[in-house]
Structure 1
Amino acid sequence: MISLQRLTKHFGSQVAVDALSLDIPAGQIVGLLGPNGAGKSTTLKMLTGLLVPTSGTATICGHDLLKDPMEVKRCVGFVPDSGAVFESLTGLEYLEMVAALYGIPAEAARERIRQFIAFFDLSFDTLTDKLLGAYSKGMRRKVVITAALLHNPPVVFFDEPLDGLDANAAVGFKALIQTLAREGKAIVYSSHILDVVERVCDRVLIIDKGRLQVDGSPAELVALHGARSLEQLFTSLTGGDDLERKAEDFAKTFRP
């Protein structure tokens, strides 16, 4: 479903993503982990056509990222970490606009929207009466997730999807992506919430400084590296293994 071949992105002299190569099959939930600046969001933006690679390429559902970008975009859904929307539209106007861009008939689009808002426990009146600029962060995130899934894409990219969601919505969302994977969708889940990734993802990729460090199932990686948890493995691989000592030293500055 997803294949990267030495995918690379430079910003001037800075290498954000460095010759990343990997394959992701249908039905798999892949956790994409890395510290800030590791290249996670840059990778997702290249795979969704928002950034042009410096070199290398990728295929999504058999379509070349550079040669056939429109077909790639038809195959993917994307929830960006920004949660950006057109704030001067109501939620319904925004979702109907997204549906029209994907060529979904108006009646079918309205029915899918109703199904999603029922799942997220949103009021239809809220979608029609309030502009998106007045939505809470969590409500806006629900609309963005709905927009990403409206056209039933075979590949879905999530960048910090739980940001702003309340506890019940987060539980529902985790169940949703597991269901989508069982239906054969390939899902890439980028997050800093490591315990959620460990519970939900079939496979974990940890990147640092744009390079792939490890690739495997959470249990396999923890066992292979002799770590107590995915969190400990992550910190040891990305230079954070002395965080507890740093925290203790910092706390001492507040003591009389």
Structure 2
Amino acid sequence: MTAPRDDTPALEMRALRREFGDKVAVDDIDLTVPVGSFFGVVGPNGAGKTTALSMAVGLLRPSSGKAFVQGLDVWSDPVESKRRLGVLPDGLALPERLTGGELLTYWGRFRGMPAETVAARTAELLRILELDEAERLGTLVGEYSTGMRKKIGLATALLHTPRVLVLDEPYEAVDPVSARVLTRILRRFTETGGSVIISSHVMALVEQLCDRVAIVAHGRVLAQGTLDEVRAGSSLEDRFVELVGAPEFDEEELSWIGG
């Protein structure tokens, strides 16, 4: 495996575009994630976040443009680039009739990892993510709660020791205790030189976790940079509303609320 140069971004999108018929979902996005970043991508529903990230990790082919992971073109060198990627996509589809442990075991073996390594990492991930009790009870993934599915999805993303994690709404439906564990895992990942990219609707979460951020709306990047640069002396939520806009309504409207 060729090591990336020190100045090579962890993830890069260049003029990335996706059209669905007449609708432009992603409009020539340029985005750069430096190595070691904890990078947040925020935007309203339908902003193009998920579509852009799906193209960046090789799950959705772009109409035009390029995406790179540690300098590798995701679409011309998919095998090597995906070795370096761990992905938790939106609406992750998982085998319903396997336990979490079985899922991780098959996942690791499909990636060609040694059986002993897979077994050791599976046991560790299940314990740390508090899925070991479900495993002892033989609980199938199809019986997992939404939060448990997020956690087993994260485990599949971490199992093969990637250097770049791309996580779509990783904290969704995760309880506060598990969220704290998840944060510790992700912070340790970046402290050892890994890079994390998360999408989220929750401004306070991104502001708490991320050192860099991009605001996306209407398929475009409206702002990106360090957290302080993007906030520009305000809160992230206020800056977000300033850039994206918010619907207005007359004081007389909805007067029926509250009786």
TM-score when scaled to structure 1? 0.91
* 1:68 pairs with one of 72, 77, 83: 77
Residue 21 of structure 1: how far off its partner (Å): 1.4
* 1:139-196 Cα deviation digits (max 9, x unpaired): 2211111011000101110100011211100011112111111111111110011101
Q: Is the Cα–Cα contact under 8 Å of residues 36 and 191 in structure 2 kept in the other structure? A: yes
Aligned length: 250
Give RMSD over aligned pairs. Answer: 1.8
Match of 2:5 in 1: none
Cα deviations by residue, 1:55-107 (Å, 9 ceiling, x for unpaired): 11011122112211122221111112213211011111111111112211111
Q: What whole-Å deviation, never above 9, does each CA across 1:112-148 have from its counterpart, x for those lacking one?
A: 1111122112225526712111112222211111011
| 1:165 matched residue in structure 2 | 174
* Aligned match of 1:15: 24
Aligned partner of 2:236 among 224, 230, 252: 230
Q: Output aligned runs, 1:19-168, within 5 Å.
A: 19-123=28-132, 126=135, 129-168=138-177
Residue pair 1:138, 1:164 contacting (<8 A) in 2 also: yes
Do the aligned residues in 2 keep the contact of 1:92 with 1:127 (CA within 8 Å)?
no
Question: Residue 84 of structure 1 aligns to which amino acid in structure 2?
Answer: A
- Quote the Cα distance in structure 2 between the aligned partners of 1:214 and 1:231: 13
Amino acid at match of 1:254: I
* Paired AA for residue 145 in structure 2: S
Q: Which amino acid aligns with 1:230?
A: L
TM-aligned CA deviation for residue 18 of structure 1: 1.1
Please state whether the residue corresponding to 2:122 is helix, strand or coil.
helix
Conserved in 1, the CA contact under 8 Å of 2:101 and 2:126? no
Structure 1 residue identity aligned to 2:81: V
Cα offset for 1:35?
Answer: 0.6
Q: Does 1:198 align with 2:201?
A: no
> Equivalent residue of 2:206, what SS?
helix
Relative distance call for 1:110 and 1:5 in structure 2 (3 A) is: same
CA distance in 1, matches of 2:17, 2:166: 18
Is 1:221 equivalent to 2:230 in the alignment?
Answer: yes
Residue 143 of structure 1 aligns to a residue whose secondary structure is helix
Contact kept, 8 Å, 2:16 with 2:26, in 1: the verdict is yes
- Relative distance call for 1:108 and 1:250 in structure 2 (3 A) is farther
Structure 1 pair 85/206, CA: closer, same or farther in 2 (3 Å)?
A: same
Gap runs ≥5 in structure 2: 1-9
Between structures 1 and 2, the one with greater helix share? 1
Residue 242 of structure 2 corresponds to residue 239 of structure 1: no
Distance 1:82 1:193 in 2: 18
8 A Cα contact 1:92 1:128, kept in partner = no
- How far apart, in 1, do the equivalents of 2:170 and 2:48 lie? 17
Aligned to 2:4: none
2:257 aligned partner: 254
| Sequence identity (%) | 37
